Structure 1
Amino acid sequence: MLLCEDVQFLELLEGTRAGDLEKVASCVENYNCNVNCVDKYDYSPLILASLCGHIHIVKYLLEHGAILERDTFDGARCLYGALNDEIRNLLLKYDATTSVDVLQPFAAHLSSLLGGNAPFDASDMCFKSSSYACRAHRFVLAARSKYCREQLRGKWQSKTDIVLPEEEVDAFNFALKWIYVDQFDADLTAVELRQLLTLADKLCLPDLADYFLNDTLGKRERRALQTRKAQDDMEAFVKNDVIGRSWVVDAPLSEAATEARRVLRESDLFADALLAVPTHDKSSRVYAVAKSELIKSDFYLTSFTSGFAESTDEVPYFTLDVSSEIAEIVLHFLYVDRAEIPRHLALDVLETASYLLMDKDRSLKSLAAIAVTNSDDLPPGTDIYQILRTAWLTESPRLENYAAKHIAHHFDRFLSEQAFKDIVQESAARISNRQDTDTIELVDDIRYYLSEAYGIYLEMNPVEERQRGQVIKEDHWVPLTEYELGYNQQLARLDHLLDSLSLQA
């Protein structure tokens, strides 16, 4: 296996080691990490997951292309190093031929635009001949092909229909599938391949030629190459053409629409919608964007598809009351399905993603939650109460668990703070029609992480069957350890706090 020391691959290994499926899935699906690489210690994600006993990670990796070849050193190491028989039996069911190739979210969305399976059609041109017709998007063509970009600013600028020579139709259809990361059969006749390579050269798509000519690539590697190239092209487009060519209108958001539309109309930007955010001096920064990327947000999708959507020929103008830094992270994710989120901005990004309904698996909300929780130290400029309230506001279990764990690991400090008492009462109030004996979610989570902090596990203390978070009772034959005594003391202090607040949980 290839050695990889990329930051994202090391993040993948860290998530694998910790059994953090959300982080693992984000690295694989948002950042296209190769699951069949190793670090400098010769650990692949699958080997680590097997050794650490994380069967849910093992299953995920196998389903997302991890290769297990039993007759190799790495395969044997993975099999015989498995922590338990359940993992070993799962591994034995798989081999190199049973790993499946799952479309990444980026590729799935882009290919849906070509296939007509997108939830909203924002195509703005059509390639046709007497026997062929295919809708397309100017911004995609401009991002992926230098030739198409030049034509769109030249003789295609005012056209919506482009007539193709009949002899180029098949080759052009293959090229479009490459551009849109759609799957296609690579088995071409010699004549078809020659036509396609000629067209690839004309369209300035050298990687399309490599896709067919590189005999060392398997089907999965070809697919990864296709997706990675498209993602890189779209990343360059959003940086240079969307963020890099944003402009400022000297008017507040509510008054900037007319001028913003005029600038777009007179420009050569490849966009059919506008997004504006406020600046520090009460002006508006405007981004020219594509509807086909905005619809990755259910908020914007609803605005385009709702029966209440405004019926107008004007370019849609959206406002977002966030800083340009936050807006550009959102836009980067919408176009590329990945984003670098600084920890000091992660909570704001999380709230914005939640507002925009970008909260599906591997969404921007998920990436922001991972960024917040990536270190035991709190993000700069935040406190644990802000994180917990944001978790409740955005319905983020990952943040709730992070906050409860942080409180449990610094319990002595928090117990004396009035703000901690207030947050416990807030947690209790979150349960509608709460009865006196109902549990309080935050308190339950803190008890759980206290047991983890003190190393209290059922299999380590055979006194009686119990669950984490319960006081340990001493037995004549099994005296309590120092850690168990300390754990009981912390639970007693927590119960005393609840009594002082007239709460039971």
Structure 2
Amino acid sequence: LGADTAISQHHGTLGKDTIALFESCRRGDLSKIRHLVEEREIELNIRDRWDGTPLYYACLCGHKEVVEYLLDNGARCVANTFDGERCLYASLNVGIRNLLRDHKVVTSNTMRRDGYDQFLRRCLDDRQHCDITFRVGGEEVRAHRCILAARSEFFRDAFRTKWRGHNVVPVTHHLVDASVFRIMLEYLYTGRLEMQARQSDSLIELAERCRLTSLVGQLHDLLVSSSSRRKAWNEFKTLLLEPSQYAQEVQRDLSRLAEQTLPAGDCKVSADERSTGDAGYADVCFNVHGCYFFCHKVLFCNRSEYFRALIEDPFTEALSTGTSRDVPVISLNHVTPEVFKCVVQHVYGNTTTALEPENVWEVACVADVYLLPELRRQCGQLIGESLDEAGACSALKVARLLRLHRLEEQCIDFMARHLAQVVQRPEFREIVAQDASEVKLRQETDSISVIDDIRYHIAANARSCAEVALANQKLALIDALLSDMGLDA
């Protein structure tokens, strides 16, 4: 217990995997870092008691490959901030310093993007499911009606009136070229944009014509702040617009679109809006036990490879839905309408308002089948918030089965804090026996996974003399359990 307690006090309240990340960055163990980041989902921008980050230690110790990997996966190094300058000046050599400067991670554009950000970018780049083409300055720019209508009142009105029935729309304004139009689309799809300073006037003109008042105001503020920091204006300078609330705005608009896809009884929008609004651009329908969800291929295909394979299956037939819409109908028989509603909300708006303790287990399993890891993790978070002595062991089994590493860590921590009650439960003995059986050709030095993890958490929480005494009592309970089961670990 003494050695484990010393390690815990040295690193503050950091978890076992987080401590391993810091140590691996100091050593330059890239394979271990990959495992911790990609499999264990460890946060890269966490700090230790000295305000150091994993990136800082990798720079300080001169591990260039580790620095590059951390930057690629979202480690923050923002220019003119404490962290950014600290990493630059702590770099062991010029190569790492140049890497920080050249990698573009010294701007907020380098911050780690979650799955929803990447999903929005894939929708922007999607060309297979486009249903509208804009002809701008001799170039064709393709897009998706459902997203443009959901994000902009101007496009929503235009698609219903003057552009109704048109698949190609000419854009003839002399100040607008294809590159500027694409920048505006980037903003509508992702909530952020990147442009050269010389394009600002054209973009503001286009945004005003499209009644994007919020974008116009943000662009003016960006130009003022950029010019105030520079003595000489450089028209080729790259400007990044990334409002702090960009994700919430996109999520809000696409969540509204998700509401229009739901069966009539669940839909919170009017029948008129449902029939003529953004859901009118639906190009795929999911039949879930007689409940029809009119959805959009661009969103489902770019959110999940499972749905991409399902939707793009050449044998999918355009069956009748009993309505005036002729779209492909795909029957989903292994999920309930209530659970699929959670899936739709997640796909469109990354929200889970329909997720409840009563359905979270079923949603977690469906998310695993549908290859929706973020929804699976959101389920794990809800399960972790409602752990109790009766359900902790079941939650641990689910966490392992669905590879929910954070939930697994929460379950272990809960068991360590309530060990006296947990060790009396038969299901806990089952987990211990299962972990013991998985160790092939057991030796005296082998450890049982769940026991080893619980012991670590017990030691990590032992600071004062009273806590150390309590920890020793818990360790004695573990020893007694193992002795009773005929195990030694």
The TM-score bracket by the shorter chain reads 0.5 to 0.7
Question: Is 2:399–2:405's contact at 8 Å kept on the other side of the alignment?
Answer: yes
Residue identity in the other structure for 2:383: V
User: What corresponds to 1:292 in structure 2?
Assistant: 298
Number of residue pairs the alignment of both structures matches: 399
* CA RMSD, Structure 1 to Structure 2 (Å): 4.7
Instruction: Trace 1:28-427 onto structure 2 (pairs within 5 A).
Output: 49=47, 51=49, 53=51, 55-56=53-54, 63-64=75-76, 66=78, 69=81, 89=90, 98-102=106-110, 104-105=113-114, 106-116=116-126, 121-128=128-135, 131-165=138-172, 167=174, 168-170=176-178, 171-181=180-190, 183-188=193-198, 193=201, 195-214=202-221, 215-218=223-226, 223-225=241-243, 228-229=245-246, 231-239=248-256, 241-244=257-260, 246-248=262-264, 269-277=280-288, 284-295=290-301, 296-304=303-311, 309-312=314-317, 314-319=327-332, 321-322=334-335, 326-337=339-350, 339=352, 344=357, 346-359=360-373, 363-373=374-384, 375=385, 378=387, 383-427=391-435
1:49·1:57 contact (CA, 8 Å) conserved in 2? no
Cα distance change on mapping 1:440 and 1:249 into 2, 3 Å: same
SS in 1 for 2:106: coil
Q: CA deviation at 1:136?
A: 0.7
Once the 2 structures are TM-superposed, how far is the Cα of residue 132 of structure 1 from its aligned partner? 0.5
For 2:15 and 2:287, how far apart are their aligned partners in 1? 36
| Structure 1 letter corresponding to 2:369 | Y
Q: Secondary structure at the match of 1:162?
A: strand
Q: Which runs of 5+ in 2 are unaligned?
A: 1-11, 19-42, 58-69, 227-236, 267-273, 319-326
Distance 1:46 1:298 in 2: 26
CA distance in 1 between counterparts of 2:209 and 2:121 reads 22
CA 293–21 in structure 1, closer or farther in 2 if over 3 Å, else same:
farther
Percent identity for Structure 1 against Structure 2: 19
SS of residue matched to 2:281: coil
Per-residue CA distance 1:162-217 (angstroms, 9 max, x = gap): 2333734445344323323474424236xx72x54443233221123224322344
How far, CA to CA, are the matches of 1:124 and 1:264 in structure 2?
18
Letter in structure 1 aligned against 2:280: L
Structure-2 residue corresponding to 1:6: none
The secondary structure found in structure 1 opposite 2:242 is: helix
Asked if the contact 2:77/2:105 (under 8 Å) is kept, the reply is: no
- Higher RCO structure, 1 or 2 (CA under 8 Å, sep 6+): 2
**Partner residue of 1:83?**
none
Q: Any conservation in 2 of the 1:424–1:443 contact (CA below 8 Å)?
A: yes
Asked if 2 retains the 8 angstrom alpha-carbon contact of 1:126 and 1:161, the reply is yes
- Cα distance between partner residues in 2 of 1:99 and 1:47: 15
Partner-residue secondary structure (3-state), 1:288? strand
Rounded Cα–Cα distance in structure 2 between residues aligned with 1:369 and 1:275: 26
Provide closer, same or farther for how the CA distance between residues 136 and 285 of structure 1 changes in structure 2, counting only shifts above 3 A: same
Native 8 Å contact 1:436 1:504 kept in 2: no
Distance 1:442 1:87, change over 3 A: farther
Please report how far the alpha carbon of residue 491 of structure 1 lies from its aligned counterpart in structure 2 after TM superposition. Answer: 3.4
Q: Which secondary structure state, in structure 1, belongs to the residue aligned with residue 286 of structure 2?
A: strand
1:89 deviation in Å?
4.0
TM-score (norm 1): 0.64
How many angstroms apart in 2 are the aligned matches of 1:247 and 1:302?
Answer: 24
- In the alignment, what sits opposite 2:482? 498
Tell me, in whole angstroms, the C-alpha distance in 1 between the residues paired with 2:354 and 2:392: 19
Q: Indicate if the aligned counterparts of 1:238 and 1:331 stay in contact, CA closer than 8 A.
A: no
| Partner residue, 1:29 | none
Q: Which residue identity is paired with 1:334?
A: V
Corresponding letter in the other structure for 1:445: D
Offset, 1:57: 8.2
Q: Residues 332 and 69 (structure 1 numbering): CA distance in 2 closer, same or farther, change over 3 Å?
A: same
Amino acid of the structure 1 residue aligned with 2:297 = K
Determine the C-alpha separation between the residues in 2 that align with 1:127 and 1:444. 61
Matched residues in 1 for 2:440 and 2:124: separation?
51
> Which residue pairs with 2:453 in the alignment?
445
Partners of 1:455 and 1:229 in 2: how far apart? 42
The verdict on how the C-alpha distance between 1:108 and 1:221 changes in structure 2, with shifts beyond 3 A counting, is farther
Displacement after TM superposition at 1:230 (Å): 6.5
**Which stretch shifts more, 134-143 or 146-155?**
146-155
The CA distance in 1 between the partners of 2:50 and 2:352, in whole Å, is 29
1:391 positional shift: 0.8
Paired residue secondary structure (1:180)? helix
Q: Is the 8 A contact 1:179 1:230 kept in 2?
A: no
- Alignment partners' CA distance in 2, 1:485 and 1:130: 77
Please give the secondary structure, in 2, of the residue aligned with 1:416: coil
The whole-number CA distance in structure 1 between the counterparts of 2:107 and 2:13 is 23
CA distance in 1, matches of 2:481, 2:379: 33
Secondary structure of residue in 2 paired with 1:286: strand
Alignment gaps of 5+ in structure 1? 1-16, 24-44, 80-85, 251-262, 279-283, 457-480
User: SS of the counterpart of 1:185?
Assistant: strand
Query: Secondary structure of the equivalent of 1:188?
Result: helix
Question: Are the counterparts in 1 of residues 207 and 215 from structure 2 also a CA contact under 8 Å?
Answer: yes
CA apart distance, 1:156? 3.2
- Code of the residue aligned with 2:343 in structure 1: it is V
Instruction: Give 1:400 shift.
Output: 1.8
Measured in 1, the distance between the counterparts of 2:48 and 2:480 equals 43
In 2: Cα distance, 1:177 partner to 1:266 partner: 22
The letter for the 2-side match of 1:247 is P
Q: Deviations over 1:71-113 (max 9, x none)?
A: xxxx89x98xxxxxx9994799789993452263444433333
